[in-house]
Structure 1
Amino acid sequence: MYKINEVFETIQGEASFTGTPSIFLRLQGCPVGCAWCDTKQTWEVDNLYKVSLDETVEKKADSDHWGEGSAEQILALFKARGYNAKHVVITGGEPCMYDLNPICALLHQHGYSTQIETSGTFEILVPEQTWVTVSPKINMRGGYKVLSSAMQRANEIKHPIAMQKHVEELEALFVTTGVSPKLVYLQPISQKVSATKLAIDTCIEKNWRLSIQVHKYLGIN
């Protein structure tokens, strides 16, 4: 059973799948503790806020209410809502607190592609065809280390930055894990002008790519 904060259909606004119609499955629970997290409502799993699975669909505002559902119930929910998108993004929270093999395998059987977005601090349990986006959370207050196995499994690295030290931390992580992925995105935190300039300059210098959170510029989820 998966604990679900939110389900909605939108356009993916980040990294390789930017512009792709997507169903977002946002799972509840995350102990990593990122200071700039924009989904802090997903951190705690409090039974006082448990609701029906249907109440997690298309929320009007962020909340820490969550519902529970099996892979089969989640698929049925997608179909009941009449979603057209065939790309499913499993995010959180920290989705890799869960074994994602059952939900991803079932979705693949029904013609969906899957993508997960993870901090890289938990073992990644997904099928081979699932696209893995690791946004490595380095030196966060939760004290979790980014796993070498997560870096090795990543199809892309998406790293939020605001200052030079964030770039340096990423480079140091490549050294300590022994993994230098070919596909690296830098994402300016909060669309700040200085962070955006730093990301652009660094991407040009290192032949990395820029991710600018298109959905926030468009004013959509």
Structure 2
Amino acid sequence: MVKSQTLKINEIFYSLQGESSRIGLPTIFIRLTGCPMRCNYCDTAYAFHEGKNLSIDAIIEEIKQYDTNFITVTGGEPLAQRNCYSLLDQLCSLGYNVSLETGGALSINEVHENVKIILDIKTPGSGESENNHWDNLPLIKQKDEIKMVITNQEDYEWSKNIIQEKGLYLNYDILFSPSFGQLEPSQLADWILQDNLKVRMQVQLHKIVWGEKKGV
């Protein structure tokens, strides 16, 4: 018998999807421990180190208790653990509708083709924009989404320029998200409308409903 691969898991929980085009859908979240980046606005610093080792078999047994087909694998940075790819493969083989939230510093080249990737492009306000792995952009599929967290007007203008320079309007669904507690959503909405920017603005639904805390 082949021994099941293991991952360090920070938490597994059932909640409403708070972001992306799947916002509001009941979803199982699998949060992996560890991240190579330290974004200034990070709201999951507890996932840098906290967690327990679980086999992929044990993870799958745990998620079976929830009656939904939607799963989001997140972090931290889930791709920082090599066995994340095997987890994604197995979830897809079981017929789950899987999305992956990745910070964009690591290659998505080996991610299963059926996974919906939410790729974060780090803005200057994150403090991590120098670590964007631009080679990921040609790997993005039509169903995937690109996310930019906006902390201020400088981030907004930078993001507009990136969209133009990289030709992101041509193929991708682009999400602009105001950094929680740093930028008023109404301000970002005004900028988008003034510029007639072809992006999807999103707010973090889970924080509006439950506040900023774990397990939501």
One of 29, 36, 39 as aligned partner of 2:41: 36
Q: What TM-score, normalized to structure 2? A: 0.82
**More displaced, 14-23 or 197-206?**
197-206
1:198 has 2:187 as partner = yes
**Structure 1 residue 172 displacement after superposition:** 3.9
Partner residue in 1 for 2:179: 189
| Correspondences of 1:141-220 after superposition (within 5 Å) | 141=127, 145-154=131-140, 155-174=144-163, 179-180=168-169, 181-190=171-180, 194-204=183-193, 205-219=196-210
Q: What TM-score, normalized to structure 1? A: 0.80
Report the CA distance shift for 1:141/1:187 in structure 2 as closer, same or farther (over 3 A): closer
| C-alpha distance in structure 1 between counterparts of 2:26 and 2:18, whole Å | 10
Q: Secondary structure at the match of 1:104?
A: helix
Contact kept, 8 Å, 2:123 with 2:150, in 1: the verdict is: no
Partner residue in 1 for 2:3: none
1:87 has 2:70 as partner = yes
1:128 has 2:113 as partner = yes
Report the CA distance shift for 1:191/1:17 in structure 2 as closer, same or farther (over 3 A): farther
Q: Secondary structure at the match of 2:184?
A: helix
Give the paired residue count.
198
Contact kept, 8 Å, 1:120 with 1:151, in 2: the verdict is: no
The alignment's C-alpha RMSD in Å is 2.2
Contact kept, 8 Å, 1:148 with 1:178, in 2: the verdict is: no
Q: Which runs of 5+ in 2 are unaligned?
A: 1-5
| C-alpha distance in structure 2 between counterparts of 1:135 and 1:199, whole Å | 18
**Structure 1 residue 186 displacement after superposition:** 1.0
Q: Secondary structure at the match of 2:68?
A: coil
Contact kept, 8 Å, 2:122 with 2:129, in 1: the verdict is: no
Partner residue in 2 for 1:3: 8
Partner residue in 1 for 2:102: 118
Partner residue in 1 for 2:57: 72
Q: Deviations over 1:140-181 (max 9, x none)?
A: 556752112323334111211121111122234446656555
Q: Which runs of 5+ in 1 are unaligned?
A: 46-63
Opposite residue 158 of structure 2, the aligned amino acid is E
**More displaced, 20-29 or 100-109?**
100-109
